[in-house]
Amino acid sequence: MENELNKKQLLLLILIAYIFSVAVRFIWVYQFHGYTPFMFHGQFMINTNDGYYYAQGAQNLLLSPHHAWYHSPVQSALSVLTYIIVKITHLELDTVMFYMPMYISSLIVIPVILISVLFKRLEVGFIAALLCSIAWSYYNRTMVGYYDTDMLTVVLPSFVMYGIMAAQQTNKSRYLLFTAIFVLLYSWWYHASFSLNFAFVGLYFLYTIVADRKNIYNYKLLAIMLTAMIAISLLLKAIIIIVLYFIFKNRRFDKFVYYIFGAAIVAMFATGGFSPIISELNGYVFRSSVSDIKDNGLNLHFFSVMQTVRESASIPFTLFADRISGSIITFVVSIVGYIWLSYRFRFMLFALPMIGLGFLAMHSGLRFTIYAIVPLALGIAYLIFEIAKKMPSYFLYYATLTVGTLLILIPNLLHVKAYRVPTVFNNSEVRVLNHLKEISNPKDYVISWWDYGYPLRYYAHLRTLIDGGIHSGAADYPVSFILTHPQNISAKLARLEVEYEVKDAKIAKEAALKKEHIKLFSPIEEMTTANGFKDVNNFLAALKNNHIKIPSPTRDIYLYIPYKMIEIYPTIALFSNLNIMSGHRYAMPLYFVSSALKQEGAKIYLQEGVVLNAKNATVKFSNATAHINHFVKTWYDKSGHLHKISKIVDPNSNVNVIFMSSYGKFLIIDNATYNSLFVQLFVLQNYNPKLFQPVELSPYSVVYKLKI
């Protein structure tokens, strides 16, 4: 009867913690209920760019899986799961994508509370579940609208961690299957899961060798976990795992366990071994600042992408602590609590891989902080419990638990209330893309920066050159060049880039069908050598001077330039602002955007100490004063049409000022930037009618069709 009561209590606490997690995530929905800029066709839109990658996969599965572009993730776990949910529930795809993270990520409370069962402290698990379910970084990456694999990237390894702990404590056969299943699911769900799974296996192997080498059960667990990590088909792994489970249950086969363990090690290394780990380390740890990507052949040098991704940048300790625990005090106390908990219950040391990966955030970016949340939440919850246990009465015991829980929850709840993250696109922007979809063909291309690649494919149903997954230095170089150079050369390079991309995609597809391995160079190298050049700079000079024949168009090309790009233009420029033959970086162009802080007479004070003087037409920087070449004022009327007044003050100056009055922004740029495609087509709408045809011209974004 007591055991039955404990199970009921366990289920009740899990249910309460789950409801709490879901309810907190409804705060954002309440805050923006009925806010039309964040909605399209009556549905909330998602708030993460990468989510549109999986959205495209689910969309293609629902509409035309056999005609999906080869970059569409129709086989990805998240896309498939979304497709299944839509088919079962008959809900709108956008509705499922928006609410799915809230319901699935809240499952984190289950493994957390189950871990506390192992040391018979359900109160600890309940408090920890409340905390980790809404902790800063976990909430940020699992809130409503954050449609991404993050909704399970902590849940699944937490189940793996619980399985290892339960297996070590009980040596029961069911935990062999339980742990292997969640290793398998984690491998299926998240492409980068190998490193953490391998860390779990490595730590358990170390424990076995040091403390329990004669226990054959340990080798069974290691063998079945390694099998779940082998790089073969999911179905085949599942079959092998089930077979191994029944073999390991029967002690008559114990004499074969060591052979099976050895075979699992060989199979794992034969199918990839450390390759996924090395790839992750190269991306997030051993990254270089520039020119770390090279093509063979011409040995081209490109800018390193990882240096521009905020998620992979090192973060300060205060932010690190806040994202894991909600405050520095809570974080420090959590560390103390985890050490105490691990001292009392040594199996908690199996949580070290998740803590280690979480601490990697100090060097490699804030995205990793979510992994440390579960073990440290258990640590502070245990500390609260131990303090409460010393209280002289039940009333004080529960009062201490309540007060302690509130103290660690309140900073995180305040963060949730203040974290009013917008959707990726607003309603007006999506209407532009929806119109683009109606007038174009799915085989056409749209050129924009990689931040907008996935949403463009989802809403406009067009192909892109770069996106959140395809944005190496080699891929980004031509798009950066197109956006930051004059219209003439940019238009020609856009046509060349797309036609070479189409040709290479066809070659790659045919090779894949024949199961052949081929080496493809970047299109910029291909077009250089195909035109008889060995130096990309010479090729680009010839392109500028109309000495290169442009191929006949096989499809239409569109340019999409949103207002949001105004803030990231310097980052975009980084990728083409170098000599890719030598890797030498050029001086960055003058690009300064600011709102007015105040105005005194003819002087307008901007950020960073910059002062505009309308009387003598000068710009004063911190260490120099320059005359203005072009001064332009732009504004939109009520119909959304752009108007502008332009005046040339000093044609010999290299400084230009554009006052974008409708946005309240001043743009101070050099001549090269002033003449760039981005400034001319978006900021000023001065397009060359021989090269571009406007499709949509709005204050939020512009779309042009290439005419060559």
- What is the CATH number for 511? 3.40.1380.40
Q: Is residue 401 located within the same domain as residue 440?
A: no
What's the confidence (pLDDT) of residue 297? Answer: 74
Nearest to 71 by CA among 437, 455, 457: 457
Percentage with pLDDT > 70 across the chain:
93
- Cβ contact 682:563 at 8 Å: yes
Q: Which residue has the higher pLDDT, 308 or 535?
A: 535
Residue range 415-435: mean pLDDT, rounded:
95
Which of 87, 109, 85 minimizes the C-alpha distance to 96? 85
- Supply the pLDDT for residue 472: 87
Indicate whether 614 belongs to any domain. Answer: yes
Is 16 contained in some domain? yes
- Are 226 and 118 members of one domain? yes
Residue 291 reports pLDDT greater than 70: no
pLDDT recorded at residue 509: 77
For the stretch 571-604, pLDDT in tens is 999 999 999 999 999 999 999 999 999 999 899 9
Q: Give pLDDT tens digits for 65-123.
A: 766 677 889 999 999 999 999 999 999 999 999 999 999 999 999 999 999 999 999 99
Residue 94's closest CA among 27, 133, 147, 158? 147
| Co-location of 370 and 275 in the same domain | yes
Tens of pLDDT along 125-135?
999 999 999 99
Is residue 277 predicted with pLDDT exceeding 70? no
Average pLDDT (226-241) is 94
pLDDT at 2 over 50: no
| b/e per residue 335-353 (b: at least 16 CB within 10 A) | bebbeebbeebebbbbbbb
**Whether 276 and 207 share a structural domain:** yes
Q: Of 383, 418, 453, which residue constitutes the final position of a domain?
A: 418
Question: How many domains is the chain built from?
Answer: 3
* Same domain, residue pair 184 and 151: yes
Determine, yes or no, domain membership for 575. Answer: no
Q: What's the pLDDT score for residue 310?
A: 54
Shared domain check, 107 and 8: yes
Domain boundary at 384, 418, 452, which?
418
| Domain end point (choices 381, 397, 418) | 418
559 and 593 housed in the same domain: no
Co-location of 152 and 278 in the same domain:
yes
Q: Which of 197-201, 376-380, 470-474, 499-503 is the least confident region? A: 470-474
Among 399, 372, 406, 400, residue whose Cα is nearest residue 384 = 400
pLDDT surpasses 50 at 44: yes
pLDDT score for 554: 95
Range of the domain at 672: 588-706
- DSSP percent split of the chain into helix, strand, coil, nearest 5: 60, 10, 30
Tell me the per-residue pLDDT of 527-581, one tens digit each, with 9 for 90 and over. Answer: 999 999 999 999 999 999 988 999 999 999 999 999 999 999 999 999 999 999 9
Identify whether residues 186 and 123 lie together within a single domain: yes
Does 570 reside within a domain? no
Q: CB under 8 Å to 375, separation ≥6 — which residues?
A: 338, 348, 351, 354, 355
Q: Mark whether 110 and 247 lie in a shared domain.
A: yes
Looking at residue 298, its pLDDT comes to: 84
| Model pLDDT, residue 278 | 57
Share of the chain above pLDDT 90, in %: 83
Phi, psi dihedrals of residue 680, rounded to the nearest 5° = -70, -40
Query: Is pLDDT of 289 > 70?
Result: no
DSSP E strand stretches across 179-334: 293-294, 301-302
Give the burial class of 445: count Cβ atoms within 10 A of its Cβ; 0-12 exposed, 13-18 middle, 19 or more buried.
buried
Using pLDDT thresholds of 50, 70 and 90, give the confidence band for residue 356: very high
Domain presence at residue 353? yes
In the prediction, which pLDDT does 275 show? Answer: 63
Amino acid 505: pLDDT = 84
Q: Which of 155, 138, 58 is nearest to 98 (CA)?
A: 58
161 with 205, same domain: the answer is: yes
pLDDT value of position 306? 62
Task: Check whether residue 433 and residue 360 sit in a common domain.
Answer: no
Find out whether 425 and 45 touch, Cβ atoms under 8 Å.
yes
- What are 661-700's pLDDT values in tens digits? 999 999 999 999 999 999 999 999 999 999 999 999 999 9
Task: Identify whether 573 is part of a domain.
Answer: no
Q: What is the mean pLDDT of residues 450-458?
A: 94
